Homo-oligomer: A and B are copies of this chain.
Amino acid sequence: MIVEISVVPIGVGESLSKYVAEVIRVLREKNIKHELTAMGTILELSSFSELCEILEEINKRLFSLGSPRNYFVLKIDVRKKGGKIEDKVRSVLEKI
């Protein structure tokens, strides 16, 4: 299962990098393989319950940093078999 998480804390001003940094801290603490991009963070997870533990923790941390409202956008690509971050990118590059 490959997930891209983006979260916008609403009501904390224009700059959000401090809050996105907290998201990365959560992932590092949980030893989750991840890739930070300009528009989200891409994770490789094993289950929906693992995903929701992460969302719960991120939400709690952003609330504790003073955000009154969090807006998440998630994209989840889940296959019966396989699904690795590198495989997806490589299989595209091979075909260009």
List of B residues within 8 angstroms of A24 by Cβ: 92, 96
Is B37 a contact partner of A89 (Cβ separation < 8 A)?
Answer: yes
Copies in the complex: 4
Residue A32 interfacial (CB < 8 Å): no
| Residue contact A69 to B80, C-beta cutoff 8 Å | yes
Separation in Å of the A3 CB from the closest CB of chain B?
A: 8
Residue of B nearest to A72 (CB): B76
Chain A contact residues: helix, strand, loop or mixed: mixed
CB proximity to B under 8 Å, residues A45-76: 47-49, 51-53, 55-56, 59, 63, 68-76
17 CB-based A-B contacts, threshold 8 Å: A4-B39, A4-B40, A8-B71, A10-B14, A14-B69, A17-B95, A18-B95, A21-B92, A24-B92, A39-B40, A39-B42, A47-B56, A48-B52, A48-B53, A49-B56, A69-B78, A72-B75
